[in-house]
Chains A and B, each alone.
Chain A
Amino acid sequence: MRQLLPAAAGLVLAGAIACAIAPAAQAAPRFTDDPYPSTYRPLPSEPVLLRNATVLTGTGQRLDAADVLMRDGRIVQVGQGLPAEAGTRVVDATGKWITPGIIDVHSHLGVYPSPGMKAHEDGNEMTAPVTANVWAEHSIWPQDPGFLTALAGGVTTLQVLPGSANLVGGRGVTLRNVPATTYQAMKFPGAPWGLKMACGENPKRVYGGKGVAPSTRMGNVAGYRAAFIDASEYLRKNGGGQPQEKPKRHWWQSSSGDNDSSGDAGGKRDLKLDTLAGAINGDIRVHIHCYRADEMATMIDLAQEFGFRIAAFHHGVEAYKIADRLAAENICGALWADWWGFKMEAFDGIQENIALVDRPKNSCAIVHSDSEEGIQRLNQEAAKAIANARRAGIEIPPEHAITWLTSHPARALGIEERTGSLEPGKLADVVVWNRSPFSSYALAEQVYIDGARVYDRNDPARQPRSDFMLGQPAAAPGGVL
């Protein structure tokens, strides 16, 4: 049967290209000004036609014996029997599977890189429980070899977050997973920042252990509330943060009265409150490390109290206990397939968590890694979720499971209009697998980002190596893979 994507009737959405690359032209809200802007440019590419594969589109569709055409960094068309124009490189993908590029919503690559040396521990600013002023991107070491092993696992986009030592850990950043000398050259153009928050054991242990607040879960919540009270006040005094005329200062008003180091008033900029206010405004997406069901419910109330939206709960080992609530609140659950028991709040982990969170209508289950090992094989994590769901009597087809790794994380990151599915006009972030990705034996053979072949298992010229690995006599010839 000949199947085409609904919108795929040979259209090249030229207009979509322009608007997808450039961030909105209008002035950014003040709280999300970016003095460290992206310098990302797609790597060189050529038109590519991947032919005759099983295609999982990331929109819930599976197309058999289908082709994927990419040009100028975009998906042009997905369907059967697509013609190859002159100058198009044709790849015979018979027997292969094609998916959108994998997206990991929770990574510490670059901020806790390999090798895990003391000098590299840059992921937790453990000096105060609320450090909304720090940005994970300023800790990223782009030479972390883990970016490249993740690439070989099909990861094309990832969010790098601060760790979970703090109630509010700081801003996370979304990256294109391309080898680069600076993080700015990886920064996903126009992608919103994330705000990392953490529930439960970690903040109270880190600070309670130092004899300062918080030392309890109630202390945690008091800490979030105090921070958002400050931010709400700051937001009010700054006119909501939208760009505006500076209020005229009259001759009788002091020019030195704006030394607002406590950061609770308009006037002097406060980095901490900028970030929290940006979160309240919805311009920075809130990602909360939270294991227990009851604590997630508390955080939902907190979000309502201060008027922000939660994009996703991360780890959420008890998310299955409140799956309906998460779906109703439009909150994603970014979860592991099988980790549990390493601490008390992870004691109720089950292997069907992803499948149960996925079950309600309008749910948003995500497979995430939080691990330099797990990010290399998120497809296998999803396979485990499928296998355990099956054992529990829930059958999940591959075309649905792939959404956990592609369109759902794109949604949580606010980039779903640009990537996460194989639809005409979207960024050509594509993985060619040697077989169904949901297997121990699945290997990503080719990985494309913006249509550029950034990794190829069969082409040493397309197997990037970190500076760190050069000239190391112990290194495995040909790289680690």
Chain B
Amino acid sequence: MSRSAITRHGTRPVPSLQAGRRGRPARPPHAGHRVRAGLLAAGLFTAGLFAATTVGAQDPGSGPGQAVLIRNATVHTAGAQGTLHGADVLVQGGVIRAVGTGLAAPAGVPVVEADGRPLTPAFFGGITDIGLEEVSAEAPTVDSTLKLEEQPVRPEFDVTLAYNPASVLIPVARVEGIGFTLLAAGNGEAFVAGQGGVMRLDGSPDPLGPRALFVRLGADGAELGGKSRAAQWMLLDQMVAEARGRVPADSPHALLTPAGRATLARYLGGQGRIVVKVDRAADIRQLLRWAAREHVRIAIAGGAEAWQLAPQIAQAGVPVFVDALADLPANFDQIGATLRNAALLQQAGVEVSFSQAGDASHNARKVRQLAGNAVANGLPWEAGLAGLTRVPAQALGVGDRLGTIAPGRTADLVLWTGDPLDVINTAQQVWLGGRAMPMRSRQTELRDRYLHGSGESGLPPAYSR
């Protein structure tokens, strides 16, 4: 952070920009009249406001009853059926109805020919602030972090209340095949940061499934928790005691508000996961002991040295959101960082997903590069795909709806130009809830303005649409 403060990132206030310009028809990604209808309809769009989109008469995507038959795809279900070649997926009412070969299109259901290309569940975008920040350096546009001088430890802080479904970051991530993300509370003044939740990037305003509580342990967390790792455990134990009612509510030593006690008590009671950002193996060991003792469900985020405790993590059933590009001793908590982390964890039976340390929100699309690199360093391809789909969905309590292609699941799907773990390929079409998403964003608008120029009008680019 210190370095990025100057080499890249900035700080300080200014009002945010609004998204939402009038779109124009998307270029069909490949020929085929059947595809065209859906894509053209989807192309008329206002960023983040799909419900209000005006669409053509042929539009299969207006209203809730979304239907499509995607035919002849290489369907990576990320579920029990594995990979199906030459398979079809039928979507009706925004839900996957059937997966198989030779499915017939019911009357009125548009057909998309996949020509054998990969079809996957929409991807997990990692642990991010999408919809919680527009410009990282501009404080009034950032809502991910609580900073209170008085009583700063507030597990009841819930960032999902600040979520802006009209953020320009959402279409930017979505056109890259990202369908959902875990919104995180950032650490402000406390190592117990507050809560976040799963957001689908379809413009809907509310989180899905249970909340997650975010905690940071280790060097960064110690800075906020008594300047010592040991103090973090001391404080955490006290918070647990308060939440379990072992400290009188009027105690002068109370760390938590009544709402904070109630919130923490819910996690101690097994509702929702505590997502712990931690890297050093010694801290992870303490964390596993603590979680076992308190019977809480945790996940590890980062986990640079998690591979050193892979069997214990597997045995505890703790999923790990790995930063698969972290291979440097960025600090003294990450001396053991290695590109083989994901592979070693998976080999031991740990459920592996992914999260980024850097520009996780604006560049959430980079998450599939993480997965691809993990595969290049020994993770089986199927596990790489699962880490972007099934594993995070299940770990975050939404696996019954997201993360796999199977009858009954929400039809959040992506058709790719090729292997989606390889950055040389791109998302060709994204469906969320069965609706063909416009493959446009503020970035594609800028691209097209300068790609095509303003033609022969002789007018500045500002006149181009």
- Across the interface, which residues of B come within 8 angstroms of A345, CB to CB? 10
Identify which of A201, A351, A391 gathers the most chain B CB atoms within 10 Å of its CB.
A391
Supposing A114-B329, A340-B362, A441-B372 touch, asked if A347 and B135 sit within 8 A by C-beta, the answer is: yes
Whether A390 contacts B423 in the complex (CB less than 8 A), given A115-B330, A206-B6, A472-B335, comes out as no
In residues 142-183 of chain A, which contact B (Cβ within 8 Å)? 145-146, 149, 163-165
Residue from A118, A164, A352 whose CB has the most chain B CB atoms within 10 Å: A352
Residue of B whose beta carbon sits closest to that of A386: B424
Within 8 A of B (CB), among A295-345: 315, 320-321, 323, 338-345
Q: A338 to B366, Cβ gap below 8 A?
A: yes
**B-contact 0/1 string along A409-452, CB 8 Å cutoff:** 00000000000000000000000000000111111000000000
A343→B2 contact, CB < 8 A: no
Across the interface, which residues of A come within 8 angstroms of B369, CB to CB? 380, 384, 440
Contact indicator A373/B423 (Cβ below 8 Å): no
Interface residues of A in 90-128 (CB under 8 A from B): 108, 112, 114-118, 121, 123-124, 126
Contacting residues, chain B, for A443 (C-beta < 8 A) = 376
- Given the contacts A344-B135, A387-B424, A391-B426, A475 and B328 also touching, CB distance less than 8 Å: no
CB of A476 within 8 A of chain B?
A: yes
* A372 is an interface residue with CB less than 8 A from chain B: yes
Distance between A2 CB and nearest chain B CB, rounded to angstroms: 29
User: For residue B336, which residues in chain A have a CB less than 8 angstroms away from its CB?
Assistant: 472, 474-476
- Distance in Å: Cβ of A78 to nearest Cβ of chain B: 25
For the complex, give the distance between the alpha carbons of A343 and B3 in Å: 15
Mask of B14-38 contacts with A, CB within 8 angstroms, 1/0 = 1001000000000101000000000
Q: Chain B's nearest CB lies how many Å from the CB of A422?
A: 23
**Residues B7 and A123 in contact, CB atoms below 8 Å apart:** yes
How close is B59's CB to chain A, nearest CB, in angstroms?
23
A-B pairs, top 5 by smallest CB distance, nearest first, are A440-B372, A341-B362, A343-B137, A476-B338, A343-B10
Q: A388 vs B307: C-alpha distance in the bound complex, in angstroms? A: 34
How far in angstroms is the closest Cβ of chain B from A348?
A: 6
1/0 contact string of B438-457 vs chain A (CB within 8 Å): 00000110111011000000
Q: Which A-chain residue is minimally distant from B420 (CB atoms)?
A: A440
Query: Which A residues lie within 8 Å of B425 (CB)?
Result: 387
B301 at the interface (CB under 8 A from A): no
For residue A1, CB closer than 8 A to chain B, the reply is no
Q: Given A341-B361, A342-B136, A393-B27, output 17 extra A-B contacts at Cβ < 8 Å.
A: A108-B7, A116-B330, A121-B3, A205-B11, A320-B450, A338-B363, A339-B363, A341-B134, A341-B362, A343-B9, A351-B443, A372-B328, A383-B424, A440-B368, A476-B336, A480-B329, A481-B339
The answer to whether B137 and A356 have CB atoms under 8 Å apart is no
**What chain B residues lie within 8 Å of A79 (beta carbons)?**
none
B10 / chain A contacts, CB cutoff of 8 Å: 201-202, 205, 342-345
A145 to B332, CA, bound (A): 13
- Taking CB atoms and an 8 Å cut-off, the chain A residues in 456-481 that contact chain B are 468-469, 472, 474-476, 479-481
Q: Give the residues in chain B near A124, CB-CB below 8 Å.
A: 6
Contact B27 A370 (CB under 8 A): no
A350 in the interface (beta carbon within 8 A): yes
In the complex with contacts A343-B10, A347-B135, A481-B339, A116-B331 CB distance below 8 A: yes
Q: Which residues B325-351 have CB closer than 8 A to chain A?
A: 325-332, 334-340
Which residues of chain A are near B308, meaning CB under 8 Å? Answer: 474
* Residue among B2, B368, B461 with the highest chain A CB neighbour number at 10 A: B2
Q: Judging by beta carbons under 8 Å apart, are B328 and A480 in contact?
A: yes
A349 on the interface (CB 8 Å rule)? yes
- Give which listed residue, B169, B281, B331, contacts A341 with CB less than 8 A: B169
Residues of chain A with a CB closer than 8 A to B246's CB: none
Q: Which residues of A lie under 8 Å from residue B325 when comparing CB positions? A: 373, 376-377
Q: Does A24 count as interface, using CB distance less than 8 angstroms? A: no
20 contacts between A and B (CB under 8 A): A115-B331, A121-B3, A123-B7, A202-B6, A321-B450, A338-B363, A340-B443, A341-B362, A342-B10, A342-B135, A350-B447, A383-B423, A384-B423, A392-B447, A472-B336, A476-B340, A480-B328, A480-B337, A480-B339, A481-B377
| B305 sits at the interface (CB 8 A) | yes
- The docked-state distance in angstroms from the alpha carbon of A388 to that of B443 is 11
B421 within 8 A of A: yes
Q: Name the interface residues of A36-74: CB closer than 8 Å to any CB of B.
A: none
Q: Which residues of B contact A (CB under 8 A)?
A: 2-3, 6-12, 14, 17, 27, 29, 134-138, 169, 280-281, 305, 307-308, 325-332, 334-340, 358-359, 361-363, 365-366, 368-369, 372-373, 375-377, 417, 421-426, 443-444, 446-448, 450-451, 461
Cβ–Cβ contact B3 & A149, under 8 A? no
Within 8 Å by CB of B426, from A126, A149, A202, A388, lies A388
Which of A164, A205, A479 has the most B CB atoms < 10 Å from its CB? Answer: A205
CA distance in complex: A372, B328 (Å): 8
* B9 in contact with A342 (CB, 8 Å): yes
B362 and A474 contacting across the interface, CB-CB below 8 Å: no
CB-defined contacts of A341 to chain B, threshold 8 Å? 134-136, 169, 359, 361-362
B328 CB contact (under 8 Å) in A114, A123, A342, A474 = A114
* Contact between chains at B450 and A342 (CB < 8 Å): no
Known contacts A474-B308, A476-B340, A480-B339, A441 near B8 by CB under 8 Å: no
Contact B340 A146 (CB under 8 A): no
CB-based contact A440/B422 at 8 Å? yes
For residue A372, which residues in chain B have a CB less than 8 angstroms away from its CB? Answer: 328
Q: What is the CA–CA distance of A344 and B447 in the complex, to the nearest angstrom? A: 18
CA distance A371 to B328 in the complex (A): 12
Q: Are B447 and A352 in contact (CB under 8 A)?
A: yes
Contact A149/B327 with A475-B336, A476-B336 known, Cβ cut-off 8 Å: yes
- Are B331 and A481 in contact (CB-based, < 8 A)? no
Decide: A146 and B328 in contact? CB cutoff 8 A. yes
**B376: nearest residue on chain A (CB-CB)?**
A441
User: Chain B contacts of A202 at CB under 8 A?
Assistant: 6, 10
Pick the contact of A205: B12, B281, B329 (CB < 8 A): B12
Residues of B within 8 A of A164 (CB): 6-7
Interchain CA distance A134-B355 in the complex, whole Å: 38
By the criterion CB–CB under 8 Å, are A356 and B423 in contact?
no
Q: Chain A residues near B446: list those with CB within 8 A.
A: 348, 350
- Chain B residues positioned under 8 Å from A380 (CB to CB): 369, 373, 423
Q: Is the CB of B451 within 8 A of A356?
A: yes
A393 neighbours in B (Cβ, 8 Å): 27
Which residues of chain A are within 8 angstroms of B422 by Cβ–Cβ distance? 383, 439-441
Asked, given contacts A352-B447, A440-B423, whether A343 binds B365 with beta carbons under 8 Å apart, the answer is: no
The CA of A338 and the CA of B448, in the complex, are separated in Å by: 16
B residues within 8 A CB of A123? 3, 6-7
- Whether A350 contacts B327 by the Cβ 8 Å rule is no
Among B138, B375, B421, B447, the one with the most A-chain Cβ atoms within 10 Å of its Cβ is: B447
Q: Give the chain A neighbours of B359 by CB distance below 8 A.
A: 339, 341-342
